[in-house]
């Protein structure tokens, strides 16, 4: 109980933006494991406490009293603790035996683009045919909490949690839990209650495992059935964030608890931007311990696309998920005076019965402040000429689309056209606007501006076509979806997979329209935060049908069966409508039905991560940090990254010397089966596979093959090329993408 007290005392002190200056900061401290694994938690805590200075109170520069204190004592996730310390105290601690490292607390961010809006229908639900809806599987969601009373978390038809479940629903939350929501804990940034006062966590949890909700609707329209990907899986929430961010100390504490509680899948839609080295990245660290216990960790890739090398959460033991569109549009059209029409999206679809033309007004014209008025920042639209006009605003500038609309409305405007950034390409957001409005591409925006230049009285009208299903180009990679190569480990292809993450409808804690007579509230938002829980749901379905599969096996099944073609049977496109490259889609777009029966799997033996990490040239101490045990890399036969038994290939520097790697596949298809290899060699490279045929005679039989990559061009300019190899039997096809950097 002593720890609980400390925990409560420091809720305010460890808040990342304290109003009172303090010399104390929160650190994550790694220590060596000195105690035998049999020792009790109490022993562990007193060992940790021995690193803290004797409780001398320090008067900080602000005159406030504070003493060094423990915030979290970690046991499953890592050997170490989080504590409030001064820099001098850390220096002192460094001298103690068993000290490994101390790292200041960092704030991670949620992986959502800020496009909150509304609606009431749900996405693709045809994925359950071959699975049993995730029954018996527990998904841990580390996020902003949950709104427990939402019908998406009803437990009608749900069995009680499996016997192995050891989690809890915190204190006064107990009566909120049921057979669907089986656990709820809150950490410091959660401010003491698992209740979601942001929306992000409710949205991600319901996307992964929300129950069926019939008659979900907003404004009485878009009526339909909402459901998560694994509607019969159990949910356990760990609240570590508020809308401002998430402390890494809290994330580690949540993962520590989730491991002990007995979750099967961890869904983590947050991260620290660019990938950092795994030994100092809390999510990579926590995910390693979780994976070791058989928990699959599914993470968002980040929203830093379309820029190269932006992918995060890229450790090979994590399933790294990028985002793409699905085949539904909330269509709106703007028609300009010369007859041209441009398509955009909006979740606000007013029923307008006529199409009156209104004068167009460019908020950016004569703007003295290039960062205020063109972006329609609230308060900046002072020109009286706006009254009665349709106003053109630029996307971004730190102003959410809905706020731009409110500013236009306040200034007397009757409609709004948002011109998106050029690098967003065709990725558009469907916002819940407060007036007729739509988001159009930069290319179309340029045409409208040119029209305005060409005439003294430019006019336009906005019309709404409602929900349109059947976009043949779907899935299209979202502009914001972070791209490979992975900076932390270029020899592992990332992201692993893409899934739906643009304009996703799911549960929301508040009514985003004015309709207060329903508890069944939904919202539509975008981000890799939204694609990650889709994959967490798919992993749950696979875990349910194949309880003996390891996290690496589930991941392999998802990757080797992914789609690389869109609904029109053409290669998946990116936001510029060009074929998406391998660093945008990884293995491709998730295909849950095929993933359920992959034929072969690439199982990564857990012990292989040691030679892999040593191969990354991490120091002994850094590797020991991750593994929570002493490792001496000089005594380990380290391997190149690309030698890890991974379902994809990323060869980061192929020069004149050919490179050879081995892979081992496990037969999970038909006992007697024969596979032949098919190779699409990257340009300028020959890929040889030996043997080219694999004959299996029993289930779970493992066979090994070798792949040799040889360069056939003399060019010495670095160049990225891509291809794939595929094992095909009469019933299965097992595909591995290949990324190669020629040097």
Ligand X SMILES: *[C@@H]1O[C@H](CO)[C@@H](O)[C@H](O)[C@H]1NC(C)=O
529 binds ligand X (CB under 6 A): no
Which span sits near ligand X by CB under 6 A: 144-152, 393-401, 466-474, 735-743? 393-401
Given candidates 33, 313, 526, 652, which one binds ligand X under the rule CB under 6 A? 526
DSSP structure class, residue 91: H
Residues in Cβ contact with 366 at an 8 Å cutoff, skipping those fewer than 6 apart? none
Instruction: Write the DSSP assignment of 192-257 as a string of letters.
Output: T--B-SSSHHHHHHHHHHPPPEEEEEETTEEEEEE--SSTTSEEEEEE-EETTEEEHHHHHHHHHH
Given candidates 98, 192, 294, 640, which one binds ligand X under the rule CB under 6 A? 192
Taking the complex as a whole, the smallest distance from the CB of residue 427 to ligand X amounts, in Å, to 4
Given candidates 450, 514, 517, 698, which one binds ligand X under the rule CB under 6 A? 450
Given candidates 365, 387, 519, 683, which one binds ligand X under the rule CB under 6 A? 365
Given candidates 13, 395, 407, 432, which one binds ligand X under the rule CB under 6 A? 395
Instruction: Write the DSSP assignment of 608-626 as a string of letters.
Output: GHHHHHHHTT--HHHHHHH
659-690 burial code (b ≥16 CB/10 A, e <16): bebebebbbbbeeebebebebebbebbebebe
User: From the candidates 143, 248, 256, 444, which is the catalytic residue?
Assistant: 143
24 vs 727, beta carbon nearer ligand X: 727
Q: How far is CA 128 from the centre of its chain?
A: 22
164 vs 676, beta carbon nearer ligand X: 676
418 binds ligand X (CB under 6 A): yes
Given candidates 37, 172, 717, 730, which one binds ligand X under the rule CB under 6 A? 172
Taking the complex as a whole, the smallest distance from the CB of residue 528 to ligand X amounts, in Å, to 11
In terms of C-beta density within 10 A (0-12 exposed, 13-18 middle, 19 or more buried), how is residue 718 classed? exposed
| Shortest-Cβ-distance residue relative to ligand X | 395
Is residue 200 among the annotated active site residues? yes
- 8 A C-beta contact, residue 486 and residue 492: yes
Q: Give the Cβ contact number of residue 358 at 10 Å.
A: 17
- 8 A C-beta contact, residue 156 and residue 210: no
354 binds ligand X (CB under 6 A): yes
674 binds ligand X (CB under 6 A): yes
Given candidates 220, 339, 398, 718, which one binds ligand X under the rule CB under 6 A? 220
- Count residues binding ligand X (CB under 6 A): 40
Is residue 697 among the annotated active site residues? no
CA dist., res. 530 & res. 58, Å (int): 44
428 binds ligand X (CB under 6 A): yes
705 binds ligand X (CB under 6 A): no
Which span sits near ligand X by CB under 6 A: 83-91, 280-288, 395-403, 579-587? 395-403
436 vs 533, beta carbon nearer ligand X: 436
Three-state DSSP class for 720? strand
Beta bridge partner(s), residue 224: 216
Pairing, β 138-143 against β 213-218: unpaired
CA dist., res. 438 & res. 472, Å (int): 21
Instruction: With CA atoms as reference, report the closest residue to 253 among 83, 90, 137, 94.
Output: 83
User: From the candidates 152, 429, 529, 540, which is the catalytic residue?
Assistant: 529
Q: Give the Cβ contact number of residue 742 at 10 Å.
A: 22
Q: How far is CA 297 from the centre of its chain?
A: 11
605 binds ligand X (CB under 6 A): no
Taking the complex as a whole, the smallest distance from the CB of residue 396 to ligand X amounts, in Å, to 6
Three-state DSSP class for 332? strand
230 vs 411, beta carbon nearer ligand X: 411
191 vs 591, beta carbon nearer ligand X: 191
Taking the complex as a whole, the smallest distance from the CB of residue 709 to ligand X amounts, in Å, to 17
571 binds ligand X (CB under 6 A): no
User: From the candidates 114, 200, 279, 589, which is the catalytic residue?
Assistant: 200
Question: What's the half-sphere exposure (Cβ side, CA atoms, 13 Å) at 607?
Answer: 2
Which span sits near ligand X by CB under 6 A: 52-60, 259-267, 631-639, 647-655? 631-639
CA dist., res. 615 & res. 489, Å (int): 10
Which span sits near ligand X by CB under 6 A: 196-204, 256-264, 423-431, 597-605? 423-431
Which residues form the catalytic set?
143, 200, 529
Residues at the contact surface with ligand X, assessed by CB under 6 A = 113, 115, 171-172, 192-193, 215, 217, 220, 223, 354, 356, 365-366, 395-396, 401, 418, 420, 424, 427-429, 439, 446, 449-450, 453, 479-480, 502, 526, 632, 634-635, 674, 691, 693, 695, 714
């Amino acid at each position: 109980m002593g720890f609980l007290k400390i925990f409560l005392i420091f809720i305010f002190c460890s808040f990342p933006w304290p109003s009172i200056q303090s010399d104390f900061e929160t650190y994550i401290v790694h220590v060596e494991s000195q105690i035998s694994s049999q020792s009790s938690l109490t022993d562990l805590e007193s060992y940790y406490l021995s690193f803290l200075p004797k409780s001398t109170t320090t008067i900080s520069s602000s005159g406030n009293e504070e003493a060094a204190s423990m915030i979290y004592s970690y046991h499953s996730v890592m050997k170490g603790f989080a504590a409030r310390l001064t820099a001098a105290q850390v220096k002192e601690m460094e001298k103690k035996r068993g000290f490994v490292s101390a790292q200041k607390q960092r704030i991670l961010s949620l992986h959502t683009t800020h496009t909150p809006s509304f609606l009431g229908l749900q996405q693709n639900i045809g994925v359950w045919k071959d699975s049993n809806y995730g029954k018996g599987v527990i998904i841990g969601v580390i996020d902003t909490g949950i709104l427990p009373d939402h019908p998406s978390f009803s437990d009608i038809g749900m069995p009680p949690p499996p016997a192995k479940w050891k989690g809890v629903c915190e204190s006064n939350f107990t009566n909120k839990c049921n057979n669907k929501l089986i656990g709820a804990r809150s950490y410091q940034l959660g401010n003491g209650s698992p209740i979601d006062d942001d929306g992000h966590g409710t949205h991600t949890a319901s996307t992964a495992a929300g129950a069926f909700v019939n008659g979900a609707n907003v404004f009485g329209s878009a009526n339909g059935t909402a459901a998560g990907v694994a509607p019969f899986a159990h949910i356990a929430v760990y609240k570590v964030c508020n809308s401002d961010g998430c402390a890494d100390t809290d994330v580690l504490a949540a993962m520590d608890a989730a491991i002990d509680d007995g979750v099967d899948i961890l869904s983590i839609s947050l991260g620290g931007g660019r990938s950092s080295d795994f030994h100092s990245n809390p999510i990579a660290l926590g995910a390693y311990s979780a994976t070791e216990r058989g928990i699959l960790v599914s993470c968002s890739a980040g929203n830093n696309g379309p820029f190269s090398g932006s992918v995060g959460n890229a450790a090979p033991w994590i399933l790294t998920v990028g985002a793409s569109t699905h085949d539904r549009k909330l269509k709106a059209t703007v028609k300009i005076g010369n007859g041209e029409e441009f398509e955009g999206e909006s979740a606000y679809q007013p029923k307008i019965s006529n199409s009156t033309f209104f004068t167009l007004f460019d908020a950016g014209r004569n703007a003295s402040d290039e960062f205020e008025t063109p972006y329609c920042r609230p308060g900046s639209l002072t020109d009286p000429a706006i009254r009665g006009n349709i106003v053109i605003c630029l996307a971004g500038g730190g102003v959410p689309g809905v706020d731009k609309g409110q500013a236009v409305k306040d200034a007397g405007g009757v409609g709004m056209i948002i011109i998106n950034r050029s690098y967003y390409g065709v990725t558009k957001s469907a916002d819940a606007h407060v007036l007729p409005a739509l988001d159009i591409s930069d290319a179309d925006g340029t045409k409208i501006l040119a029209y305005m230049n060409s005439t003294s009285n430019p006019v336009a009208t906005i019309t709404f076509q409602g929900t349109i299903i059947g976009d043949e180009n779907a899935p299209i990679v979202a502009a914001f979806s972070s791209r490979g190569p992975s900076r932390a480990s270029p020899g592992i292809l990332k992201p692993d997979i893409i899934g739906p993450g643009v304009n996703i409808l799911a549960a929301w804690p508040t009514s985003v329209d004015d309709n207060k007579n329903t508890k069944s509230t939904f919202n539509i938002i975008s981000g890799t935060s939204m694609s990650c829980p889709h994959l967490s749901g798919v992993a749950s379905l696979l875990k349910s049908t194949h309880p003996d599969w390891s996290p690496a096996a589930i991941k392999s099944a998802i990757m080797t069966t992914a789609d690389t073609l869109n609904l029109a049977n053409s290669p998946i496109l990116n936001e510029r409508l060009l074929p998406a490259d391998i660093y945008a889609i990884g293995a491709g777009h998730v295909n849950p039905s095929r993933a359920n029966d992959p034929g072969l799997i690439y199982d990564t033996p857990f012990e292989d991560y040691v030679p892999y990490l040593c191969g990354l040239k991490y120091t002994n101490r850094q590797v020991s940090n991750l593994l929570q045990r002493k490792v001496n890399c000089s005594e380990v036969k380290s391997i190149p990254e690309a030698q890890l038994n991974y379902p994809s290939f990323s060869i980061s520097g192929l020069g004149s010397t050919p490179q050879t790697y081995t892979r081992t596949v496990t037969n999970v298809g038909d006992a007697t089966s024969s596979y032949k290899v098919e190779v699409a060699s990257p340009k300028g490279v020959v890929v040889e596979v030996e043997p080219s045929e694999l004959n299996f005679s029993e289930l779970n039989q493992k066979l090994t093959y070798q792949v040799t990559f040889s360069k056939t061009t003399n060019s010495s300019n670095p160049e990225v090329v891509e291809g794939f190899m595929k094992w095909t039997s009469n019933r299965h096809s097992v595909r591995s993408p290949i990324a190669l950097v020629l040097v």
